[in-house]
Structures are given as structure tokens and as C-alpha cells.
């Protein structure tokens, strides 16, 4: 079993939560369906190998839900797997049929048996009803891939991941079609979304030059978790300094200026989402609306403008070449009206 997971750099991303009565969630189900709505969840109770944590929902970015079993399921699976080695074909078939009718908790139970040091596989002459075949059939039935985790993994403040067991049976999700009660075992992933209100605060993020570069195809765009709506006024301010190994070690600021050079950038920018003047320069903080958007829009050191599209807000540092040897970071503050 995987041990407690704690990853990320030891710096704090302060989140002064946007005021909201309910938290907005986006649920990806194991059958591939996606549901969005609001919930009254205020915190996540996570039992880890080192104790129980109570994590405020405002600090939660996302949750990946593992597949765990229980003693009753494990005992039943163990008995049925033993029957798969029976010389009576009808008994093998009966045990196999019962296995593949079990719920998703049977998957880790079978997997644990197959990889245990005491497991003795069925005789090689029995190729029809095997534990391996039952596992594959259940994984296909519940759309579970190889390498699944038995633990739930929670992402905190966009930087830290922690493994344990998220203690809940279901989520009551209020949607436009009514309130739905969705069992935990049907949920694969949960994204926690935020709607901003600048009268009640702002969110602060850190962009790392080692990762959050617009040309980096592997996580270069930072997902803020902020949902914006067309017509909202977006305010972005940034400070800090980054060094681009991709640009001969030159140091840049969010306004696009080069440190120690006569080159100056634009200290502030105000304009509309689709204005032609939003084209960025090296070192600028940039943003886009929606993961699939191809528009890279300039924010610089200080931006104030109305968005003309709705969706998730992503931010990054503009550079056309990504180099992991970059150093430095920007602190970016975002608020909405």
C-alpha cells in the first residue's frame, strides 16, 4: 500500500477565500460523466497514516478518489478466488460469475490477493475462469485502469498532495436539475471551483519559472480554480523576478522589463479581453480562459479589464521556449468584480 504522500515546495500560497455560501464542485464520475453544482461541504476529513486532518474546503484544490476495500468484501473475494482452483468446472464458473457481479470494492481485494506472497494461481490447465480474468472484467465494468490507488489523494493550495482516506459516503450536489446524491464509489475526481468577489478579498498565487512557462506543455499553465463569467472585471497584479536560462540568463520582471537593462516594460495595462494590444512580451504574466483556449493574453505587472468569455482562469509566465533550468518566481494576486 502506498504510504502518506506529501509533495511540493515548502512555500506558502496564501488563499484569502472568495466569499461564497456554498462551494462549487466539478465531479468526474468513473463512467466518464461530468457533473457540476454546489455543495455545503465546509471541510475535508482525511485519515492518514499519521493521524486525522480536517482541511478547510477553501484550501482544497482537487481530490482524486482511490478504490479501497473492506473486510467483508476481502473475505468474500478470498473465498471465491479459492474456488477458482476447484477441479469442478461448474463450481469454478459459479465462483467466477459471483466475482464479476461484485461492486467496485472487489477490485483492490482481488488485486491484493494476486500480488500477495501467499497466492497460488490456478492450475495452468484452468484457463477459463481465473482471478486475473475476473479482475480485468471488473476493471472494464467500472472503467478502472491499471495502477489505480487504494488511497484518496487531496491537492492542497495547488502545491501539496496528501494521501489518506476521505471520510464520506456521498456528496449532495445541487445542480440545475435538482439535488443529486452521488455515492463516493462512483466518483473518480473532484475539482473545487471558486467564484470571485473583489469586495471580499483576493487570491494569491505563485508562478514558478521552473514550471509555469506558457510554452511548457506539461503543466506550464497554472489552473487557478477561479471561474470567470463574461463581462466580469478581472484585476491581476504581479511582482517578483525570474531568470530565463532560455534567454542567456537574463532576468525579467512581470512588466516585461529586463533587470539591469535600459529595456522597460509596461507597468500597467488596461483593456478588453480580445483587444489586439494584449500580445505579450517575454517575462509578462499572461492568462487565458479555459484549458483548451489558444489565446495567450497579457496581464503584465498590473492588469484591469473585462473578460469576454466564461470559464476557468489560467495564468502563466510568457516565454516561447521552456527551460527547466529557469529560476525565480512571481507572486500574482487576482480579484474580480
What would the pLDDT profile of 193-217 be if each residue is shown by its tens digit? 754 443 445 788 889 999 999 999 9
Residue 212 in any domain: the answer is yes
Is 284 or 14 the better-scoring residue by pLDDT?
284
Positions of E strands within 70-221: 152-156, 160-166, 170-175, 178-183, 187-195, 203-208
Rounded to two decimals, what is the model's pTM?
0.61
Q: What's the mean pLDDT in 318-331?
A: 94
Supply 10's cell numbers: 515548502
- Is residue 15 pLDDT above 80, yes or no? no
Residues 129 and 244 in one domain: no
Q: What's the mean pLDDT in 292-298?
A: 90
- Is residue 137 pLDDT above 90, yes or no? yes
Residues 165 and 42 in one domain: yes
Cα separation, 127 vs 129, whole angstroms: 6
Residue 205 in any domain: the answer is yes
Quick count: other Cβ atoms within 10 Å of Cβ 38? 18
Report the percentage of the chain scoring pLDDT > 70: 84
Residues 31 and 157 in one domain: yes
Is 27 or 157 the better-scoring residue by pLDDT?
27
Residues 77 and 57 in one domain: no
Q: What's the mean pLDDT in 280-300?
A: 92
Is 15 or 108 the better-scoring residue by pLDDT?
108
In CATH, what number is assigned to the domain containing residue 286? 2.60.120.430
Q: What's the mean pLDDT in 142-149?
A: 88
Tally the domains of the chain.
3
- Is residue 48 pLDDT above 80, yes or no? yes
Residues 207 and 251 in one domain: yes
Cα separation, 211 vs 208, whole angstroms: 5
Cα separation, 84 vs 45, whole angstroms: 39
What does the pLDDT read at residue 292? 86
Quick count: other Cβ atoms within 10 Å of Cβ 204? 15
Residues 43 and 175 in one domain: yes
Task: From residue 177, give the alpha-carbon distance in Å to each of 38, 68, 173, 174, 234.
Answer: 12, 31, 10, 8, 30
What does the pLDDT read at residue 191? 86
Residue 59 in any domain: the answer is yes
Residue 289 in any domain: the answer is yes
Residues 187 and 270 in one domain: no
Residues 250 and 269 in one domain: yes
Q: Where would I find the H helices in the chain?
A: 71-83, 89-99, 106-114, 131-141
- Is residue 305 pLDDT above 60, yes or no? yes
What does the pLDDT read at residue 158? 63
**b/e 72-107 (16+ beta carbons within 10 angstroms → b):** ebbebbeebbebbbbeeeeebeebbebbbebebbbb
CA-based nearest residue to 15, from 158, 159, 204, 279 = 204
Report the length, in residues, of the chain. Answer: 337
- Is residue 3 pLDDT above 50, yes or no? no
Residues 82 and 160 in one domain: no
Q: Helix or strand or coil: residue 256?
A: coil
CA-based nearest residue to 229, from 318, 126, 293, 307 = 307
What does the pLDDT read at residue 6? 36
Categorize the per-residue pLDDT at 336 as very low, low, confident or very high, splitting at 50, 70 and 90: confident
What does the pLDDT read at residue 270? 47
For CA atoms 329, 324, 294, 25, give the dihedral sign.
negative
What does the pLDDT read at residue 117? 84
Q: What's the mean pLDDT in 135-148?
A: 91
Cα separation, 64 vs 145, whole angstroms: 14
Q: What's the mean pLDDT in 271-300?
A: 79
The mean-pLDDT minimum among 19-28, 230-239, 289-298 falls in 19-28
Residues 155 and 48 in one domain: yes
Residue 41 in any domain: the answer is yes
Residues 315 and 211 in one domain: yes
Residues 188 and 301 in one domain: no
Categorize the per-residue pLDDT at 328 as very low, low, confident or very high, splitting at 50, 70 and 90: very high
Residue 1 in any domain: the answer is no
Cross-strand bridge partners of residue 160: 156
What does the pLDDT read at residue 332? 93
Tell me the per-residue pLDDT of 230-262, one tens digit each, with 9 for 90 and over: 899 999 999 999 999 999 999 999 999 998 775
Categorize the per-residue pLDDT at 77 as very low, low, confident or very high, splitting at 50, 70 and 90: very high
Cα first-last separation, the chain = 46
- Is residue 276 pLDDT above 50, yes or no? no
What DSSP assignment string belongs to 302-333?
EEEEE--S-EEEEEEE--SS--TT-EEEEEEE
Task: From residue 301, give the alpha-carbon distance in Å to each of 230, 236, 284, 332.
Answer: 23, 8, 7, 9
* Residue 131, domain extent: 71-141
Give the distance, in angstroms, between the CA of residue 56 and the centroid of all CA atoms in the same chain. Answer: 17
Residue 222 in any domain: the answer is yes
Categorize the per-residue pLDDT at 278 as very low, low, confident or very high, splitting at 50, 70 and 90: low
Amino acid at each position: 500500500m502506498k504510504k502518506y504522500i506529501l509533495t511540493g515546495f515548502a512555500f506558502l500560497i496564501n488563499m484569502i477565500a472568495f466569499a461564497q455560501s456554498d462551494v462549487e464542485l466539478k465531479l468526474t464520475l468513473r463512467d466518464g460523466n461530468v457533473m457540476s453544482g454546489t455543495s455545503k461541504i465546509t471541510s475535508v476529513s482525511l485519515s492518514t497514516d499519521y493521524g486525522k486532518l480536517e482541511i478547510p474546503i477553501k484550501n482544497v484544490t482537487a481530490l482524486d478518489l482511490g478504490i479501497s476495500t473492506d473486510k467483508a468484501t476481502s473475505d468474500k473475494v478470498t473465498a471465491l478466488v479459492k474456488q477458482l482452483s476447484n477441479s469442478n468446472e461448474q463450481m469454478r464458473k459459479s465462483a467466477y460469475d459471483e466475482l464479476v457481479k461484485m461492486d467496485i470494492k472487489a477490485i483492490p481485494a482481488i488485486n491484493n490477493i494476486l500480488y500477495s506472497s501467499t497466492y497460488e494461481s490456478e492450475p495452468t490447465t484452468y484457463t477459463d475462469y481465473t482471478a486475473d480474468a475476473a479482475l480485468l472484467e471488473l476493471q472494464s465494468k467500472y472503467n478502472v485502469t491499471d495502477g489505480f490507488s487504494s488511497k484518496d489523494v487531496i491537492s492542497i493550495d495547488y502545491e501539496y498532495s496528501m494521501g489518506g482516506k476521505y471520510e464520506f459516503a456521498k456528496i449532495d450536489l445541487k445542480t440545475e436539475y435538482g439535488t443529486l446524491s452521488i455515492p463516493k464509489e462512483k466518483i473518480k475526481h473532484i475539482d473545487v471551483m471558486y467564484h470571485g468577489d473583489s469586495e471580499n478579498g483576493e487570491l494569491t498565487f505563485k508562478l514558478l519559472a521552473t514550471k509555469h512557462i506558457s510554452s511548457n506543455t506539461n503543466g506550464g499553465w497554472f489552473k487557478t480554480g477561479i471561474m470567470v463569467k463574461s463581462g466580469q472585471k478581472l484585476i491581476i497584479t504581479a511582482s517578483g523576478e525570474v531568470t530565463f536560462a532560455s534567454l542567456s540568463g537574463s532576468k525579467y520582471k512581470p512588466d516585461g522589463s529586463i533587470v539591469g537593462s535600459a529595456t522597460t516594460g509596461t507597468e500597467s495595462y488596461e483593456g478588453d479581453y480580445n483587444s489586439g494590444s494584449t500580445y505579450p512580451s517575454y517575462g509578462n504574466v499572461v492568462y487565458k480562459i479555459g484549458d483548451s483556449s489558444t489565446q495567450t493574453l497579457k496581464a503584465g505587472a498590473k492588469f484591469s479589464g473585462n473578460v469576454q468569455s466564461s470559464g476557468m482562469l489560467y495564468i502563466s509566465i510568457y516565454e516561447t521556449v521552456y527551460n527547466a533550468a529557469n529560476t525565480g518566481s512571481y507572486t500574482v494576486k487576482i480579484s474580480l468584480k
